[in-house]
Amino acid sequence: MKTAIRKGKAASGIAYGYRAKLVYDEHGDRIPGLRQIDEEQAEIIRWIFQKYVLGRSPKEMAVELNNRVPPVPGPRGLKWRDTAIRGSRERRTGILNNETFVGRLIFNRRKFSKNPETEQREARMNDESDWVVSEVPELRIIDDELWSKVKQRQIEVEAQFNHTTTNRLNRTHRPNYLLSGLLECAHCAGPYAIMSKNRYGCTNRQKDLPIAHLDDGICPNSKTISRAELETRVLDAIPARLLSVGSTASLQDEINKQLAATAKAGERDQEKLKSQLNDVSRKQEAIATQVTDRILNGQPQIEAFNKMLDDLQRQRDEIESSLRIQQKKRSGPPKTFTVNPSMFTAAIGALTAVARAGASEHDDVQRHFNFLRELVQKVVIAPSADGKSAELTIHGRLAGVLASMQAFQDYTAGLREQHANEFARRVRAGEFKDRAEKMADLHRFEAVLAEEETSWRRLQVSVVAGAGFEPAAFRL
């Protein structure tokens, strides 16, 4: 097997993203272990990597792939699971850790042995010096830059699960307050947390912990600030200050790239549905021919043929329904979005108003908390020059404000007007046979809007951490 790997041949099963390459030797026998890229699956792999870098979780991506029309088959033709995407960075398993995607085949990475106590087969990592690595650039699906970004985000996500001496609480738990886990001391870079009577203070200072970069001294920052004052000052700053630190042009470009990618995916889905429809039609025609031949020859009918035809007709109806929805979605010119700065101000204002009014234990408010926490990524707290108050430096991103569904409402208003005009034209032309057909058309349009809304919500999440939106800092 080592020799096969060194020759660029796979020594294991066919990984997602690839298919067997049919090459034959001089005797006419297929040469085993050769692989080539499956472009349809490779496109899904690139989508997963890109969305992960943009902030999407493996669970969200698995749900979206399973909910697409038609669903995207996962590895081995099964439904997508978040574990298949996430895998393990340490053990180098899962979609996000498969080094074949960057053109490297690895053999002897793990060894398997039977645990005598549990009688279970267990895998152990071999030392890297024992690995057999072969460069196979023809199997590369992901470029090095995207691969590196994914590895960096994996490290950041794993760091959120680590416990430290100054923060015993897992940072991935639901925050108790709007700014929980986002506050940092300007002197020691330690966390600010609730001390007493709803006041935040430096935890390193409170615990008298020696700080290495302060020559093992104790943090001198004794400044505390009430939660109410802190949240008010931060929320007051968001609408006016955050929008002034960056241009909306890059955000508009990013959104339109996302819309173009969605349109391209829709075109591929349509072609796939048409191919499935043709396949079903061929099967129906073949069975119908056999049934006709038997009738002409005076042979008895076969009940299995009738059942097969019924099943194929159900498949055909489902595919045609999905195809109509896809065609409805993709009708008209390509969609573009123009950023309206005043809309951003209104959207952020609405979010901050909700955050002021609610408590974080409510799911609806928690969702808005999460959007705002994306805007305000970190708040650094220091004593003011005169020592009488706290000086706040907010680090944030412009992206994320599209979390407001006002943008979607503006967008769908145009779609509704377009459909209303088309519906009226078809009524005048007598294209509907009865009320049932009219209702079916309306239901299809509502289904399109529902799917558009789902896509829009996902777009907001993916844009939040998108490339081109560098953090900005400003003082209060």
pLDDT (tens digit per residue) in 22-57: 777 777 777 777 888 999 999 999 999 999 988 888
Asked whether 318 and 69 are in contact (CB, 8 A), the reply is no
Asked whether 458 and 60 are in contact (CB, 8 A), the reply is yes
Of the pLDDT bands very low, low, confident and very high (cuts 50, 70, 90), residue 298 is: confident
Kindly list the distances between the CA atom of residue 85 and the CA atoms of 52, 421, 476, in Å, as whole numbers in the listed order: 10, 44, 42
The per-residue pLDDT for range 301-319, each reduced to its tens digit, is 888 888 888 889 888 888 8
The pLDDT score that the predictor gives to residue 245 is 43
The per-residue pLDDT for range 72-100, each reduced to its tens digit, is 899 888 889 888 999 888 778 899 999 89
CA gap 284, 242 in Å, rounded:
61
The pLDDT score that the predictor gives to residue 30 is 72
Report the SS3 class of residue 284.
helix
The pLDDT score that the predictor gives to residue 21 is 81
CA gap 211, 205 in Å, rounded:
10
Domain layout of the chain by residue ranges: 2-154, 171-247+339-476, 249-336
**pTM, full prediction:** 0.40
Per CATH, the number for 2-154 is 3.90.1750.20
Query: Which of 108, 104, 84 has the alpha carbon at shortest distance from 147?
Result: 104
Residue 183's Cβ-count burial label (10 Å; 0-12, 13-18, 19+) is: buried
DSSP of 86-138: H-BTTTTBSGGG-GGGGTEEEESSEEEEE-TTT--EEEEEPPGGG-EEEE-GG
Asked whether 177 and 366 are in contact (CB, 8 A), the reply is no
CA gap 402, 455 in Å, rounded:
13
Q: What is the mean pLDDT of residues 59-80?
A: 87
Kindly list the distances between the CA atom of residue 20 and the CA atoms of 10, 12, 49, 181, in Å, as whole numbers in the listed order: 10, 12, 23, 49
The pLDDT score that the predictor gives to residue 46 is 94
Q: Which has more pLDDT, 262 or 345?
A: 262
The per-residue pLDDT for range 379-428, each reduced to its tens digit, is 899 998 888 889 988 776 543 343 334 445 555 666 677 778 888 888 88
The pLDDT score that the predictor gives to residue 254 is 67
CA gap 58, 67 in Å, rounded:
14
Show Cβ contacts of residue 201 under 8 Å, excluding neighbours closer than 6 positions. Answer: 192, 193, 195, 222, 223, 224
The pLDDT score that the predictor gives to residue 5 is 44
Q: What is the mean pLDDT of residues 430-452?
A: 80
Q: Structure tokens of 169? A: 């609480």
The pLDDT score that the predictor gives to residue 398 is 40
Largest Cα–Cα separation, the chain: 105
The per-residue pLDDT for range 210-253, each reduced to its tens digit, is 777 777 788 889 999 998 888 888 877 665 555 544 546 666 67
Residue 440's Cβ-count burial label (10 Å; 0-12, 13-18, 19+) is: middle
Q: What is the mean pLDDT of residues 260-268?
A: 75
CA gap 317, 311 in Å, rounded:
10
The per-residue pLDDT for range 101-111, each reduced to its tens digit, is 998 887 766 66
- Could you give the angle at which helices 341-357 and 363-375 cross, rounded to 10 degrees? 130
Q: What is the mean pLDDT of residues 438-450?
A: 78
Report the SS3 class of residue 22.
coil
The pLDDT score that the predictor gives to residue 95 is 94
CA gap 447, 71 in Å, rounded:
16
Q: What is the mean pLDDT of residues 197-204?
A: 88
- Could you give the angle at which helices 303-329 and 249-296 cross, rounded to 10 degrees? 160
